[in-house]
Amino acid sequence: MTFLFFFLSVICFGQNYKAVDTADYVQRKSFLTTFNNNNDAFIRKVRSDYSGKGGAQLARIYKEFGADFEKQVKNKDFIFKSEFDASIKSLIARLRKNNTKVPQDLKILIARDNTPNAYCLADGTFVINMGLYNWLANEEQIAAVISHELGHKIDGHSFKAFVAIIEQNEVDKITLQNIKTTTEARSQSLNQKAFDIFKNRVYKKGAERRLHEMQADSLGYTIFKSGDFKKGDFVNALQRLQDFDTISPNQLKMETYKKFFDLPKQAFNDKWMKKEDFSLYNYNFYKEKLSKDSLASHPEMDKRIERLKKIFPELKTAVEPGTPSEAYLALKKTARMEILPNYFHSEDYGLGIYTCLQFLQDGEEEPYYKGWLGRCFAKIYEARKNYNLNRYLDRVEPKGQSESYQQFLNFMWNLSLDEVKNIADYYQPHAPIKES
C-alpha cells in the first residue's frame, strides 16, 4: 500500500509539474548592475595593490571573467526566482551563526547545471548547481558542499592561484630566454627544455590546487560543525561526490531501444546497434609524458577523507546519512524533473536522449520524457542536416566511456538523417513544455 501511494504521488507530481520560472528579466538586470559595479571596484583595488605588469594581467583576468559571467547570466544559465533560494539562504544563515568568517554579502544563484557542484565568486556571489539536489541525500550534505566552497572563499584560493600563475609566467619567460642564449642549447633539444619547464609548471600548479582542496576541507568542516549539522554528513557528502559520474552508469537494455524505436512508420533496424570494432586500435602506442597523479587538481577523495579523519577524530566513526526533510525531498523532485530542461538549455542533446531513455526504461513519467525525447531528436536532426553533429553528440571513446554509453553513441551515429527525423516527428507531439 505504501509503495502504491508513493507511485501514485510521483505520477501526480509529473502530471502537475510546473517548470522552474525563467522569466526573471528584472532580477537578472538588477543582479548584473550590482555584479558589474562590484567587479569594477575589485579590479580597481587589484590595480592599486599590484603595480606593473602583474596588476595589469590580474585586472585583465577579472575583466574577462566578468564579461564571460555576464554572458552566462544573459543566457539564462542561472535561475533568480526559485524555491531553492529559501533553503540555501537558511543553510548559509546556520553556517554564519557561529562563524564570523562567513561573509555577510553572499548572494545566491541557482545554476541550470546537472553536475553536483558549487562555487563562490570574488564579489560574494554563491552559485549552487541544481545537480547537487539530484545527487546528495539531504540538506546537511548540501551545507557540507557550501562549507567547502566557503573555505576556498575565505582563504582566497582563486585569487592566490591567479597571482601564482602570473608570477610563474614571468619566471618561465626569463628561464626560456636564458636557455636560448646559452651554449648548452646548441647540444640539447630546445623543445625538450621548453617541455621540461612546462611540465614543472603544471606539476607545481597541480600540487598547489591539491593543497587548496585539503585546506578548504579542513576550514569547511570547522564551519560546518559549528553550524550544528550532523557531523558525519560532511564525510558522507564527499563520498557521494566521489561516486558521481557525469554520464549515468546505469545500462540501457536492448529491449529499451526496441520498445521506443520500433515505430509504426519505421520498424526497428538491428543494424542501428552495430558497434565499430576498436579491438585492433593500439591506444598504448604513445607513452604519456605527464604523470596523471601530478596533474590532478583534486586529490583522490579517499585521501581527503582520510586526512579529515586524522585531523578531526570524531569523523572516524561512520554514520548513516541524516533523514532528509520533506522540503528537501520536494526540491530533489524538482531538480530531477529539471534534468532534461537543463540538458536542453546547455545544448547537450545527446546526453538528453540517453537520460530520457534511462528514465523511460525505469517507467518514469512517460509522456514527460517522451516529449523531451522528441525535442532532443529534433535538435539532433537539425545538427545532422547542418553538418555540425559533433557539437551535440559525443564520439565513441572506448577507454573513457561505459559499454552502455558506447552502444548508445553507436546507435545514434548509425541512424540516417531521415531516420532521425522520423523519430523526432513521432515523439514531438508529446512535448509538454515550451522553450524558455
Same domain membership, residue 234 and residue 355: no
Does residue 297 surpass a pLDDT of 70?
no
Same domain membership, residue 170 and residue 57: yes
Same domain membership, residue 170 and residue 262: no
Does residue 212 surpass a pLDDT of 70?
yes
Same domain membership, residue 266 and residue 197: no
Residue 91 burial (CB < 10 Å; 0-12/13-18/19+)? buried
Residue 1's pLDDT is 39
Domain span including residue 172:
25-176+191-247
pLDDT in tens, 42-84: 999 988 888 888 888 888 888 998 999 999 999 999 998 788 9
Name residue 111's beta-bridge partners. 78, 129
Does residue 253 surpass a pLDDT of 70?
yes
Distance CA 348, CA 25 (A): 24
Same domain membership, residue 394 and residue 273: yes
Residue 225 — φ and ψ, nearest 5°? Answer: -70, -30
Distance CA 415, CA 410 (A): 9
Does 422 map to a domain? yes
Same domain membership, residue 101 and residue 44: yes
Interstrand relation of 125-129 and 107-111 (parallel, antiparallel or unpaired) = parallel
pTM tops 0.75: yes
Residues whose CB is less than 8 angstroms from the CB of residue 422 and which lie 6 or more positions away in sequence, other chains included: 263, 265, 266
Does 291 map to a domain? no
Same domain membership, residue 414 and residue 354: yes
Segment 185-201 shows an average pLDDT of 51
Segment 330-359 shows an average pLDDT of 96
pLDDT in tens, 357-409: 999 999 988 999 999 999 999 999 999 999 999 999 999 988 878 899 999 99
The residue among 255 and 275 whose pLDDT is bigger is 255
Does 6 map to a domain? no
Does 199 map to a domain? yes
% of the chain with per-residue pLDDT over 90? 54
pLDDT in tens, 128-144: 999 999 999 999 999 99
The angle, 0 to 180 degrees and rounded to 10, between the axes of the packed helices 301-311 and 190-226 is: 50
Does residue 418 surpass a pLDDT of 90?
yes
Residue 381's pLDDT is 97
Mean pLDDT of the chain: 83
Does 306 map to a domain? no
Grid cell at residue 424: 523526432
Residue 296's pLDDT is 42
Does 295 map to a domain? no
Does 82 map to a domain? yes
Q: What is the DSSP letter of 20?
A: P
Provide the residue type at 297 as one letter: S
Boundary-marking domain end, from 204, 227, 247: 247
- CB-CB neighbours of 336 under 10 Å: 20
Same domain membership, residue 264 and residue 406: yes
Same domain membership, residue 108 and residue 199: yes
Same domain membership, residue 407 and residue 335: yes
Helix H or strand E encompassing 128:
strand 125-129
Segment 288-312 shows an average pLDDT of 68
Does residue 121 surpass a pLDDT of 50?
yes
% of the chain with per-residue pLDDT over 70? 79
Please state the domain count of the chain: 2
The residue among 148 and 179 whose pLDDT is bigger is 148
b (16+ CB within 10 A) / e for 44-68: eebeeebeeebbebbbebbeebbee
pLDDT class of 120 with cuts at 50, 70, 90: confident
Provide the residue type at 117 as one letter: N
Residue 158's pLDDT is 81
Residue 394's pLDDT is 92
Segment 261-276 shows an average pLDDT of 94
Same domain membership, residue 337 and residue 242: no
Residue 191 burial (CB < 10 Å; 0-12/13-18/19+)? exposed
User: Among the listed ranges 42-46, 324-328, 376-380, 432-436, which one has the minimum average pLDDT value?
Assistant: 432-436
Same domain membership, residue 170 and residue 54: yes
Does 133 map to a domain? yes
Q: Are 289 and 199 in contact (CB under 8 A)?
A: yes
Residue 51's pLDDT is 81
